[in-house]
Structures are given as C-alpha cells and as structure tokens.
Structure 1
Amino acid sequence: MGKHILITGGTGLVGKPLTQLLLDKGYTVSHLSRKAANIPPVKTFLWDVEKAEIDPNCINDVAIIIHLAGAGIADERWTDARKQEILSSRTKSIELIYSLLRKHPHQVKKIISASATGYYCDRGDELLTEKSPPMVDFLGRCCVAWEQAVDKGEALGLKILKFRTGVVLTDEGGALKQLALPIKFGFGTVLGSGRQWVPWIHLQDVIDMYLFGVENDLTGVYNMVAPNPVTNFKLTVAAATQLNRPLWLPKVPAFALKLAMGEMSAVVLYSTKVSAEKIEAAGFQFKFPTLKEALRQIYA
C-alpha cells in the first residue's frame, strides 16, 4: 500500500507521536486540521467540519486516512450542546471526507479510525470482546454512530479498520496525568468503589498498533487495550507506588462524583473489562503488556 498517509487530529495526544513514528518509518504524512501548523515536513490542509469546508487537495496521492479527530470526551461537562458536539465532531468529520472522495479522483484505499471502549459502557466484571453488544447510554450511542459513519466508506470500496481505544496512559496528558497530579501532591485517592475495571493502554502501544494497522491487511474492529486490565483501585495504588507517594485519603464516593461531574462521571465510574485477545491473535506484540511495566517507563 502507498506511503502517503493523511491524519485528522494529527496534533493531538495520539496524532502527534503517531505522525513522528510514521515519518521515522519513511512515510509521507499530511494533516487535516482546523488551523495551519508549522510541523516540517508535514503539510497541513485546512477544513471546517461545521461549515462543511475541506481543501480538496488534502487527498492528493494519499493511500490511507487515519481518522483521529473528535471533541474531547472529558474536556467539558456534558450539557446537551456538548454531547451533540462530541457526537457530530466524530460523525460529520468522516462524512465530509467521504463526500470529498465521492466527488474527486483519488488513490485512497483504506480508512483507519479511532473508536472507543465507551462502546461497551458499564459492564461490571464481564470480559468484553469485539463481539459484545453495545450499551444504549450516551457513550454507547456515540460510539455506535461513530463506527456506523466510518463504515459508510465500504460503499466507496474502501477497507475499514476501527480501533476501540481504552484509557491511554502517558504523562503528556489524558487520564493518567489527571490521576497522577493529586497523587504527586499527596492527595491521591480511589474513585468510587475502586472495583471498576479500567481498559488501559500505553501510548507507545497505541501508536505501534496504528502502524500495525497501516502495514498489515487488518479490517473490521479491534480493541485497542493492553492484555491485562486493572481496577481503578489497582491503577491508583500502582501510580502512587511508582511515584513513591502515600494514599491516605478515603475513597471519593460515586454520588459525590456524580454531583461534581454530572453524567460525565460515567468516564471514571464505569467498569469496562476489555479483551485484547483479537489483536494479539492478529500478531501484534505489546511493548507494555502490564501496568507495572507501563508506569515504570512513563515515570522513569
């Protein structure tokens, strides 16, 4: 397959290191972004999803599109307007790309899209595979609509690959940085019961898995999680141990989190135990299969 890859969301938590990895591997990388950026040798093309505007030149000579764009799930409280923004930023963006592909000659052969383990929602101790059905709350509905929008590319003759991504661990941002900050100052604590499962994955394994998807004939949906899920309690304790900080405060009860965060408390209270068996069976090898290995590298 060709060596030119277009990335949406290319300056984000995953997009930035993924861009560098692809460049290091000899790929040509372009970004599709809301604003111009100076990231040599990456060319940035502009789009405005809400206005349905997109630079048609963005698909020139592109073989694969990696679709990472979308409003942050936990960046703001979930008002009705915010929930609509979270949903439309994922579905309208890929629809805009497909609209362009219908109108212009191109060499695009494959779409690799992010999805999320929010597809499965709150499932207790059930081990969830790619065949497990979605739940019908906001996160589940959002992920289903997201994946369905991406799947429309099949009608254009495109290969479709979707990664249901868990909690990405890195000290550059995201959930771990928010968890570790109070721990570093001696105020860390377990959230809710602590028994809820966290489908985590190290950032390096995330970008390696996208590269694996680029370089192998993978299609369909795969869980993007480490093979050893942990509970919130074990994650918090492991982070405190790695940072050499005490955990002395009582757990934050679920009702308090719901009062503070509203419906968005689902992000930290849901129990989602997700299997990595399918991607491992496809031949992917994790650099950080255990939480201890992941945290040791992150806080080395």
Structure 2
Amino acid sequence: MKKNVLLTGGTGFVGKYLTQLLIEQGFSVSILSRSKRTNTEDVFYYTWDVQKQTIEKEAVLQADYVIHLAGANIGEKKWTKARKEEILSSRELSAQLIYSVLKKYDKKLDAFISASAIGIYGAINGEEICTEEMKPANDFLGLTCQKWEASADRIGELGIRTVKVRTGLVLGKNDGFLNKLTPIFKLKLGSALGSGKQYMPWIYVNDLCGIYLAAIKNPQMQGAYNAAIDDNTTNASFSKTLAKVYGYKIWLPHVPAFLIKMVLGEMALLVLTGRRVSSDKIKQLGFHFRHENLEETVRVCLDK
C-alpha cells in the first residue's frame, strides 16, 4: 500500500505544490480543511476546526507522515493585538489538536514535519550568519517561531521523529512573495525599501517542497533546518533583479522607512529587517538546491 501523508494547510500556496509532488512520488495524500471538500482520485479531505478543537481523527490515525503547514499568514494583516494572538494560536492550537489524537490513540507516525521560519532569528539587521544552533530572538517573530517549534517538539516527545523547516521568502508562480511585488514592478515603479541593505533569504517553492520530501525519505533528518538560499541577497539587489527581469533599471529612490511604518505599522519589520542565514546543515545531508540563481528563478516564476 502507498504511504499516506497528511497535510495541514494543504490548500495553500506551498501545500498545492507539495500535494502534486507527493502524488508524483507515489504517496497518497490527505488534507485537513476547515470545510468539507470533494475527494479526488489522489487526494482525500478531512475536516477540522482548530478553534473548537475538533477533528476527524481518521485523518491522523491513517497517516504515516504529517506535514504541518497550517497557520495564519503573518504578512496578511496589520499586527493588532488580536491579530498577533491569532497568529500565535493558529500555530499552537493546530499542532495541539494533532498531538491530542496521537497521544490518545498511541499513534506512531514515521515522522512529523513542521513548517517554521527564519523569523526565529528575529526582526534584526546585521552581518551575523544565522545557523540552526543560534539562540532564538525574543521579539514577536522569534517568539512566534519558538512556540511553533515547541508544538512540534511536544509531538517529538511521543517518540516520533520531528523535523522543523525554517523557511525563507518563498518564490513561485502566481503566488508567494513575488505576487505582492509584481504589480508595482510591472509598471516600472519598483524600488528598494528602507535602507535596502536588509537581507532577503529566499527559496523557490519547488526546492522547499523538495526539502519536505527529503524529510520524509531521509530518516537522518531530525530537528531544525534552514530552508533558504544563502546568497546574501539584499532588498536592494532583489529589487534590481526584479526590475531587470521586467526590462528596466530602477529609477525611483528608496521608499523611506517612515512611510512603510505609517502604512504597515509594526508589520513593517517584515520588509525593513532581514538576516543572513546558512543552509549548510541541509546541504551536508546531501540536499541539492536546484534554483540558486535569483534572476533565473524570478524569470521562471514570471515566465520571462
């Protein structure tokens, strides 16, 4: 029989790509969704309600692996007090719901693989290269990721191999980080944000899905792994590359940081700060990034 992979957040941007890859690799896929959906030949849907802590337990009990992508989009809305609580609880409570089923029925998965983010190193600018052994930051991004990973570690305490994928900015076709920038750059109105010196560790969605697949197939993978290209891309160099792909050179000055803060509030930290990261740990396990050139990757994403 095919091994079954249960995805949370499976209907999102990364989840859609990952579902297709898993099917191509011969796995059966189940997806937890808030609303009832029609099963297809390859994908079975189950319902859950994270706030009410209800779930169709069969989804977990038949799974060999769980890939946990679910969580409120950190860059979708302003960081009001209520929104911050939603961001935190969406990650903690969803993992808690899966944990409760695993513990109650003494279910042993082959692996539990959780999304995390390089935000664990904090909304800070600087030259220090962040490795997985670094102490997490204590700002909102750092604490959010710490709680996210702590939820995964709790499942690890059940004797289940646990992997945490610390993701950079995800690039892909018609979605992800690029989708928010292309309308401006297409009109030749793009420019760098703030100082432009903030680092922007990025990853192509297919490579990210490849890391999740590696986490399934490689029993040596355990703990945290940075999932980002370590080419020291900054906001300024990223902006120049995107403009080049659209056939022009940036002519506008940098967007001042104070304007970005006026529009986004505290969430401006997402675009005004960024850290360098190392991807050596995942490479040492033999993982090969197929898209390491930013310009080539952007052209693939935009069909240019």
Letter in 2 for 1:179: L
1:31 counterpart = 2:34: no
Letter in 2 for 1:32: L
The answer for the alignment partner of 1:42 in structure 2 is 43
Q: Is the 2:125–2:199 Cα contact (8 Å) retained in structure 1?
A: no
Give the TM-score of the pair, scaled to structure 1: 0.97
Q: Secondary structure at the match of 1:204?
A: helix
RMSD of the TM alignment (CA)? Answer: 1.4
The one-character-per-residue Cα deviations of 1:223-248 (angstroms, maximum 9, x if unpaired) are 01013230000001001101213422
Per-residue deviation at 1:171?
3.0
The answer for the alignment partner of 2:142 in structure 1 is 140
C-alpha distance in 1, partners of 2:92/2:25? 30
Letter in 1 for 2:33: S
Unaligned 5+ runs, structure 1: none
Letter in 1 for 2:82: A
C-alpha distance in 2, partners of 1:268/1:37? 35
Q: Secondary structure at the match of 1:43?
A: strand
| Bigger shift: residues 66-75 or 56-65 | 56-65
Letter in 2 for 1:119: I
- Aligned pairs for 1:98-109 (under 5 A) are 98-109=99-110
The answer for the alignment partner of 1:130 in structure 2 is 132
| Bigger shift: residues 47-56 or 57-66 | 57-66
C-alpha distance in 2, partners of 1:25/1:192? 43
Q: Quick one: percent identity of the two aligned structures?
A: 42
- Aligned pairs for 1:247-258 (under 5 A) are 247-258=250-261
The answer for the alignment partner of 1:4 in structure 2 is 4
Per-residue deviation at 1:2?
6.9
Per-residue deviation at 1:209?
1.0
C-alpha distance in 2, partners of 1:84/1:285? 37
* Partner of residue 177 from structure 1, selected from 176, 179, 190: 179
C-alpha distance in 2, partners of 1:68/1:233? 30
The answer for the alignment partner of 2:231 in structure 1 is 228
The answer for the alignment partner of 1:55 in structure 2 is 56
The answer for the alignment partner of 2:287 in structure 1 is 284
Per-residue deviation at 1:189?
1.1
The answer for the alignment partner of 1:95 in structure 2 is 96
The answer for the alignment partner of 1:20 in structure 2 is 20
Q: Is the 1:2–1:64 Cα contact (8 Å) retained in structure 2?
A: no
Letter in 2 for 1:5: V
* Partner of residue 163 from structure 1, selected from 154, 165, 179: 165
CA shift in 2, pair 1:36/1:66, >3 Å? same
State the number of aligned residues: 300
Q: Is the 1:62–1:106 Cα contact (8 Å) retained in structure 2?
A: no
C-alpha distance in 2, partners of 1:224/1:163? 6
The answer for the alignment partner of 1:298 in structure 2 is 301
Letter in 1 for 2:190: G
C-alpha distance in 2, partners of 1:230/1:278? 19
Q: Is the 1:198–1:229 Cα contact (8 Å) retained in structure 2?
A: yes
Per-residue deviation at 1:105?
4.7
Q: Secondary structure at the match of 1:193?
A: coil
1:118 counterpart = 2:119: yes
Q: Secondary structure at the match of 1:74?
A: coil
The answer for the alignment partner of 1:266 in structure 2 is 269
The one-character-per-residue Cα deviations of 1:170-219 (angstroms, maximum 9, x if unpaired) are 13222211122200012111101000000111111111111111111111
Give the TM-score of the pair, scaled to structure 2: 0.95
C-alpha distance in 2, partners of 1:19/1:284? 20
Letter in 2 for 1:265: A
Q: Is the 1:135–1:141 Cα contact (8 Å) retained in structure 2?
A: yes
Unaligned 5+ runs, structure 2: none
Letter in 2 for 1:267: L
The answer for the alignment partner of 2:206 in structure 1 is 204
Q: Secondary structure at the match of 1:272?
A: strand
Q: Is the 2:230–2:276 Cα contact (8 Å) retained in structure 1?
A: no
Per-residue deviation at 1:143?
0.5
| Bigger shift: residues 173-182 or 133-142 | 173-182
Q: Is the 1:184–1:245 Cα contact (8 Å) retained in structure 2?
A: no
